[in-house]
Amino acid sequence: MKPPMLYRQFASQAEIDAEYNPAARLSDPGAYQRHYVEQSRLARERLPGLQGVPFGPTLAETLDIFPAAPSDAPVFVFIHGGYWRAFLAGDFSCVALGLHALGITTVVVNYALAPWVGIDEITRQTRAALAWVLRNIERHGGDPARVAVGGHSAGAHLAAMALQTRWSDDYGLPEDPFRAAVLVSGLYDLEPLRHSYLQPQIQLDDGVIRRNSPLFSIRACPTPVLLTWGGEESAEFVRQSTTFHSAWTDAGNLSLCAPQPGANHYSAIIGFEQSASAMCEWLESQLGPQRPADRSLEAC
């Protein structure tokens, strides 16, 4: 008799961990963390910026702003990853490097981490940060009508949750306030993580999974999405993105898939440091003075 499946075709935690622990696939995963910390230090030295701007009542609810030179600059809000339980906004100041050269203001969001808070609260904090940006970025030279959102790994999950938010009903903001979204190596169905090594820290249950899995609450939304991931990532990380792409486009929405050959889970966001990268160029095209004409984007 076959053992019962924990999730899809996976019968054991070890099988799920092999798919969802990207560090286990690399000989020195810490090299990427060291890279981002060093590049972030350089970004804070070279670029004008404000660190630790509060957007909420707790000490963790802050954001870092790297204003671009022109007034009324377009804005990109980046949400860092770390499986909701690691890293700080300051570890990823580096994402401003490529965008600043293109005249795009970058905001990097900080949030409280698991297990001190759960994913419901992290999602709430992220939405509060985005509402703050939409209401206040004009005071820092940004154009609130040209704001894009994005993130990496768990940050891509939080950015996807932002696209499901009832911005008009819950925040009194335009219903679809974002010009574009860049989702890098994201997690859109949280169910498999309940059976993984992460569960003791992130404490998923049926309600948390239902409320916080973007794949299962997709609505019609005019925001075009760039879905990208490293070509060397696990089959499950690829499936998370391609399944979200299918569901997003099935709802009549726009999505572009852009796997990155040779990249892994950690290196997939290095493109934000390079103004000529595909991610930066796509963002620049979406954040121009005029909204790009609606058109079908490439399928995966």
**pLDDT tens, position by position, 16-45:** 999 999 999 999 999 999 999 999 999 999
Residue 296 has a pLDDT of: 44
| The dihedral formed by the CA atoms of 117, 230, 25 and 15, expressed in degrees to the nearest 10 | 70
pLDDT at residue 293 is higher than 60: no
Residue 244 has a pLDDT of: 98
In 10 A of CB 200, how many CB atoms? 9
Residue 279 has a pLDDT of: 97
Residue 3 has a pLDDT of: 72
Cis link prior to 259 (omega < 30° from 0)?
Answer: no
The tens digit of pLDDT for each residue in 149-182 reads 999 999 999 999 999 999 999 999 999 999 999 9
The tens digit of pLDDT for each residue in 200-259 reads 999 999 999 999 999 999 999 999 999 999 999 999 999 999 999 999 999 999 999 999
The tens digit of pLDDT for each residue in 59-102 reads 999 999 999 987 899 999 999 999 999 999 999 999 999 999 99
- pTM of the predicted model as reported, rounded to 2 decimal places: 0.96
Write down the domain spans for the chain. Answer: 13-286
Query: Please, how many CA atoms are within 13 Å of residue 275, restricted to the half-sphere of its CB?
Result: 9
In 10 A of CB 192, how many CB atoms? 23
Q: How far apart (Å, rounded) are the C-alpha atoms in residues 20 and 183?
A: 17
Which of the following CATH numbers is that of domain 13-286: 3.40.50.1820, 3.30.1490.190, 3.40.50.720, 1.20.200.10? 3.40.50.1820
What percentage of the chain exceeds 90 in pLDDT?
Answer: 93
Residue 300 has a pLDDT of: 62
> Residue 295 — very low, low, confident or very high, per pLDDT cuts 50/70/90?
very low
The answer to whether 120 and 211 have CB atoms below 8 angstroms apart is: yes
pLDDT at residue 197 is higher than 60: yes
Q: Which of 29, 88, 99, 84 is nearest to 59 (CA)?
A: 88
Matching residue, tokens 């935690």 = 13
Q: Which amino acid is at 81?
A: G
Joined together, the tokens standing for residue 128 give 């509060």
Q: To the nearest whole number, what is the mean pLDDT of the chain?
A: 95
Residue 69 has a pLDDT of: 86
